[in-house]
Amino acid sequence: MTSLPFDDRDGVIWLDGALVPWREARLHVLSHGLHYGGGVFEGERVYAGQPFKLTEHSRRLHASALELGFRIPFGVAELDQATREVVRRQGITDGYVRPVAWRGSEQISVSGAGTSVHVAIAAWEWPHVFTAEAQTRGIRLGTSRWRRPAPDTAPVRAKAASLYNICTLARDAAEADGYDDALLLDFRGQLAEATGANLFLVIDGELHTPIADTFLDGITRQSVIALAHELGIAVHERHLAPEELARAEEVFLTGTAYEVQPVRAVDDREYQVGKVTRALSEAYLRLVHA
């Protein structure tokens, strides 16, 4: 990824219905979303100038906002159109789109009632998260002490900015220990996900993935499950204990930014990048470039 700071770039960002110069896309320091976590976002990939599964992402942004108790003031079709315009104006070929919505600055109170809702969409070139070697050989995960919360304690069905505090803490600690990402357990001590991607284990040639009841059921996750069915690979969505990592022949992650990312190690346990991971990675690349 480029090292340019994200607040000092050329181009435009769509903000509350209009394209504005990149450096002028600002929010007030007393925005409710900044102080109390009243914000939701999406991550979308652009392939050959086209955002992948754009409408699904726009719909999920709406759903996430409703989970946090507010409504997006722009319809799904408006968000889709705005995203395409931003991608076109930025000249993005292979990149990333970040729509974000947050509560405004009408009041500073725990209650969010009466606050306005703002929406911004930005896009930039971003071909891959990890190096070419990591994409081929796989990445290393370290199990985090942080856990995904119970569904009756946090809005786990939303892509909420507030929930990513856990991910930031886990990822920073993992990288400090020499890993590429962190593996999070859920509140029960069962396998959950990485900091920004869903988890899959290959056991006896079949896919096993945690039930998405404490974390987001990713759009890429859903796509890979559908591809597995098309390829005749059995898929089991179930609760997985950490001990089942010992049974796995292959491990991989899925996400908008990660795509299908092989894992070569979890803590001290190592894995090969096998035929199931390779088959699904190739199928996913065909899908996004179709």
Residue 161 and residue 40: Cα distance in Å, rounded?
Answer: 5
Cβ partners under 8 Å of residue 237, min gap 6: 209, 210, 211, 212, 225
Tokens of 168: 């930031």
Q: Which residue has the tokens 């955002």?
A: 51
Residue 46 and residue 94: Cα distance in Å, rounded?
Answer: 5
Cβ partners under 8 Å of residue 224, min gap 6: 200, 254, 260, 280, 284
Cβ partners under 8 Å of residue 116, min gap 6: 103, 104, 106
Q: Which residue has the tokens 């896309």?
A: 25
Q: Nearest Cα to 195, choosing from 159, 222, 168?
A: 168
Torsion of CA 269, 250, 185, 65, to 10 degrees: 150
Q: Nearest Cα to 211, choosing from 203, 221, 220?
A: 221
CB 114 within 8 Å of CB 106: yes
Phi first, then psi, for residue 235 (nearest 5°) are -125, 130
Reduced to 3 states (helix: H, G, I; strand: E, B; else coil), residue 28 is: coil
Q: Is 159 designated active site?
A: yes
Residues 140, 159, 208, 221: which is the catalytic one?
Answer: 159
Residues catalogued as catalytic: 159
